Amino acid sequence: MKNVLVTGGAGFIGSNFVRYLLDASRESQLQVVNLDALTYAGSLENLRDLPRPERHTFIQGDICNRDLVRDLLRRHQIDTIVHFAAETHVDRSILSPEPFIQTNVIGTFTLLEAARKYWLEKKALPLEQVRFHHVSTDEVYGTLKPEDPAFSETTPYAPNSPYAASKASSDHLARSYNHTYQLPLTISNCSNNYGPRQFPEKLIPLIILNALTGKPLPVYGDGQQIRDWLFVTDHCEAIHKIITQGRSGETYNIGGNNQPANLTIVETVCDLLDELQPLAEPHRSLIKFVTDRPGHDRRYAMNISKIKRELGWQPRYSLTDGLLATVQWMLANPDWVAAIQKQREYQTWLDKNYDKR
């Protein structure tokens, strides 16, 4: 791995991965090219104070732009693509699915085609030195009943939201490029991430931010839905292991080994804030049950025995340590919070999603 193209590297997980890669490359000559369209979810604030910034090149652009992607691969002699760029929020996909099809399906197709042409047709680099890694989600597997076993790599796909369906489509395309053309490729399906630099439309940063400003904490339905939570740095480490040691053609499930109910997550964040930044009333008094999400998946859980067995990866952060680190990061970075709160688009989203709930 010498010249890495990271797509979506100004978003939450992508920017954490760029940081991880630059840090991990202390001894190597690794160069990172970061392609990101800077949608509402991406921000240059996420790329402040990178380690080894001289090894990082930021390009603002769309992964659906075929000429741009082709030129980037050639100009930077890209040997590794780590593909994060996506529309990622389920609630937005319910209110407005089209950008999900465009970026997640067409964008992934555009990248796969560019890689196929550059690596396989032009034979620009030795095949054993190239890798396309496609970053995906556990949501492609659908929802679990309480007694069902956790999702494994062989669980049939049953996506329920437009977001999950668009990611499932992109997974199928990625898989087919390996099967048909032998494009060196891996896929990872990961559970819900949380941690520094997550856009506060997702549950955990939204709850922290609302709690800090004394606003209601919206819990959908009965709050008993279950997610499998993973601290973002653990996800970055898992992806790095897959790229460097994973077998081409394989899918790896990644998860956090914990499955609390949403309400428990919200209450835990409240209790942490009561200690770190007390209000007159306990933060739990801000909890407000609101209308449920249509088609809301009840339960996700990941079986991570394959990545553990084959690559020796398992999460390092417990949920308690990860939540504390996330709350502390938010408190220590008021400039980052202020920059997002200033975005008119963010306020528009909050009005659109929560006003009539």
Q: How far apart are CA 215 and CA 283, in angstroms?
A: 10
Q: Does 337 bind ligand NAD (CB under 6 A)?
A: no
Judged by beta carbon distances under 5 to 8 A according to partner kind, the member of ligand NAD, ligand TYD, none in contact with residue 184 is none
CB 64 within 8 A of CB 103: yes
Q: Which is nearer to ligand NAD, 279 or 339 (CB)?
A: 339
Could you say which of ligand TYD, ligand NAD, none residue 200 binds, taking C-beta under 5 to 8 angstroms by partner kind?
Answer: none
Other CB atoms within a 10 A radius of the CB of residue 280 amount to: 6
Query: Can you state the angle between helices 232-245 and 12-24, rounded to 10 degrees?
Result: 60
Which helix (H) or strand (E) segment holds residue 32: the answer is: strand 31-36
Identify the helix (H) or strand (E) that includes residue 230: strand 229-231
The option from ligand NAD, ligand TYD, none interacting with 11 (CB < 5 to 8 A, set by class) reads ligand NAD
Instruction: Tell me if 323 sits within 8 A of 264, measured CB to CB.
Output: no
CB of 278 to ligand TYD, least distance (A): 23
Contact call for residue 193 and ligand NAD (CB under 6 A)? yes
> 9-28 mask for ligand NAD (x: CB under 6 A)?
-xxxxx--------------
Secondary structure class of 18 (helix, strand, coil): helix
Q: Is 27 a catalytic residue?
A: no
Residues that bind ligand TYD (CB under 6 A): 90, 192, 202-203, 206, 218-220, 225, 227, 262, 293
> Of the residues 20, 118, 163, 194, which is catalytic?
163
Residue 40 among the catalytic residues? no
* Chosen from ligand TYD, ligand NAD, none, partner binding at 84 (C-beta under 5 to 8 Å by type): ligand NAD
- Give me the helices (H) in the chain, please: 12-24, 66-75, 90-95, 98-100, 108-115, 162-181, 203-212, 232-245, 262-276, 305-311, 319-332, 334-342, 344-354
Residues 6+ positions from 353 with CB-CB distance below 8 Å: 91, 95, 201
Closest CB 69 distance from ligand TYD, rounded Å: 27
Residues 145-184 that bind ligand NAD (CB under 6 A): 167
Sort residue 246 into left (φ over 0), alpha (ψ -120 to 50) or beta: beta
- Asked if residue 33 lies in contact with residue 5, where contact means CB atoms within 8 angstroms, the answer is yes
**CB closer to ligand TYD, 56 vs 227:** 227
Note if 281 is an active site residue. Answer: no
Which one among 1, 24, 38, 279 touches ligand NAD, defined by CB under 6 A? 38
Contact call for residue 199 and ligand NAD (CB under 6 A):
yes
| Residues facing 302 on adjacent strands | 151
φ, ψ of residue 248 in degrees (nearest 5):
-60, 140
> Residue 3 Cβ, how far from ligand TYD at the closest point, in Å?
32
Q: Please, which residue, 197 or 283, has the CB nearer to ligand NAD? A: 197
Contact between 103 and ligand NAD by CB under 6 A: the answer reads yes
Q: How far is the CB of 166 from ligand NAD (least distance, A)?
A: 9
64 binds ligand NAD (CB under 6 A): yes
Residue type, 129: Q
Distance CA 143, CA 158 (A): 8
Instruction: Closer to ligand NAD by CB, 4 or 286: give it.
Output: 4
- Residues forming contacts to ligand NAD in the complex (CB under 6 A) are 7-8, 10-14, 36-39, 41-42, 62-64, 84-88, 103, 107, 135, 137, 167, 190, 192-193, 199
Active site (catalytic) residues: 138-139, 163
